[in-house]
Amino acid sequence: MKTIVLRIGGQRFAARLLEAEAPMTCEAFLSRLPIEGRVIHARWSGESVWFPMDPLGIDVPAENQTCHPSRGDLLYYPGGVSERELLIPYGSAIFGSKVGLLQGNHFAVVTDGLDKLPEMGKNVLWEGAQKIRIEEA
């Protein structure tokens, strides 16, 4: 069972990869680590932050998709009607864009720091973009 660590705005979250459910997405993420950038608050996806990922060019097919993630479910949208992105829900969420609902690859779930996700989300909402670093645990 592989784990990744997300550091967002000074907070640390560990997430277990769902290798059986989304093997290609997990493998693609692991091959690009560490990943750095900035997360911003979602516009259409409820209580979530998102990280634009077009520059990384992670090209994977649809697998283990959902548009109804729970808090801490990490979704990767591999592109199509919207840009590639990572969605990190911190509360009630439904994955969408200006053109409607999106199906994201559910590839990891936060297992450590889940209780700190709402605080992180509110910081991004009220303080603006925050640095993110994703690395292997």
* Architecture of the domain made up of 3-136: Beta Barrel (2.40)
Q: Contact 116/11 with Cβ under 8 angstroms?
A: yes
Q: Contact 9/124 with Cβ under 8 angstroms?
A: yes
Evaluate if residue 41 carries a pLDDT over 90: yes
**Which residues, listed in sequence order, are joined to residue 88 by a DSSP beta bridge?**
49
pLDDT band at 48 (very low <50, low <70, confident <90, very high): very high
- What is the per-residue pLDDT across 95-126, written as a single tens digit (0 to 9) for each? 999 999 999 999 999 999 999 999 999 999 99
Evaluate if residue 57 carries a pLDDT over 90: no
Share of the chain above pLDDT 90, in %: 95
Q: Contact 108/4 with Cβ under 8 angstroms?
A: yes
Count how many Cα atoms sit within 13 Å of the Cα of residue 19 in the half-sphere of its side chain: 7
Q: Contact 118/8 with Cβ under 8 angstroms?
A: no
Share of the chain above pLDDT 70, in %: 100
What is the pTM (predicted TM-score) of this model? 0.96
